Amino acid sequence: MTANPWSPSPRTHEPMEIGAPVRDSSAWDPDALRGTDAWVYQLSEPEIEEIHDAVAAAEARGGEIMEITRGSFALPGLAPALADIKAEIRDGRGMALIRGLPTENRSRRQLATAFWGLGCHLGTAKSQNARGHLLGHVLDLAGKGFKTPKVRGYMNGSALEFHTDRTDILSLCCLAPAKSGGEHRIASSPAAYNAMLEQRPDLVRELTFDFYRTRNGEIPVGETKPYIRQPVFSAKDGYFTGRSSGTKVMQAQDLPGVPKLTPAQLEANALYLKLAQEFSLDMELRAGDITYVNCHVTLHARTDFDDWPEPGRKRHLMRLWLNDTEAQRPLVESVAREVNAGVVVDGMAYKTPLEPVVEGERDLV
């Protein structure tokens, strides 16, 4: 069995406000981590057997995957490690990877059950789209380079720019990697903020504006606006939050009633994305890898990829949006409202689909 390289950060934190640097473990330096797997937790054989036993117990009970809870997916031996991983995501670097979950000779349902059950120990799943999907699928459904407002980036094979998802913790489980490319790229938003503060403090202030962001047509019950408004940089109770500044902000520019971005705002957005790239680290995704990133302090992206021609070999990730319901990071109201709710629209029913069902562009939403 491969040695476990897991080495958590000191999990230090100094209170801050916008205009002052972030001095805590979430502002990690990629150069200090390259050549190491400090963020990787390697499962042991007993831990794998414990996960398999919990999956078997869930199968014996029957029912939907979304009915599985932390209490019903018992992992007494692994639980202390999962608590440590959760603490690292919440108070440390803001990212972690669990490696070693076997995928060979395991059914899709067994893998989804394991992924869901482990996720229950880190947070509570919420809907990722207007169809009520608590379990999502990331793969090239639309064709490389094919994009419309209803075809999101995770549905094709093109590269994705740095962004954050509408949740506390984004989790991905790799069922199959691409033929080439498709690396999971991450960056510390506090580190990018600190660099911008040194280089262009005037542009830091530009990113405290409540930017208009498209809702992609997913408008909550009781609301009518096709956008939400949030700052890119904010601080609450001494804790920094860095959100995305790219695609959804630019798409909102075409919505009625949304003012055009100023030259200074455009410059600030461009510099933030440039710095994210400079402070990025690539995570190699192997079959069975499960990643977790804290979306309040971690930007993520994906490199362009070429897929296998055989349908059964195509790059395929499962996805969870998890809320940290035990001790959520202090957030300004506009961010907290969005990440706590998930996607909730009129008439929606929650589902945990094992396969993506594509009948047309509408089904890609």
Each residue's pLDDT tens digit, 194-207 = 999 999 999 999 99
What is the domain extent for residue 77?
22-189+284-355
Work out the average pLDDT over 99-128: 97
- Domain CATH number, residue 348: 3.60.130.10
Mean pLDDT of the chain: 91
Q: Is residue 237 part of a domain?
A: no
Per-residue confidence (pLDDT) for residue 248, from 0 to 100: 92
Per mean pLDDT, which range of 101-105, 109-113, 228-232, 300-304 is the poorest?
A: 300-304
Does pLDDT of 360 surpass 80? no
Does pLDDT of 365 surpass 70? no
Counting the structural domains of the chain, the total is: 1
- Alpha-carbon distance of 217 to 219, in angstroms, equals 6
Q: Is residue 160 part of a domain?
A: yes
Q: Is residue 325 part of a domain?
A: yes
Q: Is residue 6 part of a domain?
A: no
Per mean pLDDT, which range of 69-78, 215-224, 233-242, 330-339 is the poorest?
A: 215-224
Work out the average pLDDT over 116-136: 96
Per-residue confidence (pLDDT) for residue 333, from 0 to 100: 95
What is the pTM (predicted TM-score) of this model? 0.93
Per-residue confidence (pLDDT) for residue 166, from 0 to 100: 93
Per-residue confidence (pLDDT) for residue 148, from 0 to 100: 47
Work out the average pLDDT over 119-143: 90
Q: Is residue 259 part of a domain?
A: no
Q: Is residue 274 part of a domain?
A: no
Does pLDDT of 364 surpass 50? no
Per-residue confidence (pLDDT) for residue 57, from 0 to 100: 98
Q: Is residue 320 part of a domain?
A: yes
Q: Is residue 16 part of a domain?
A: no
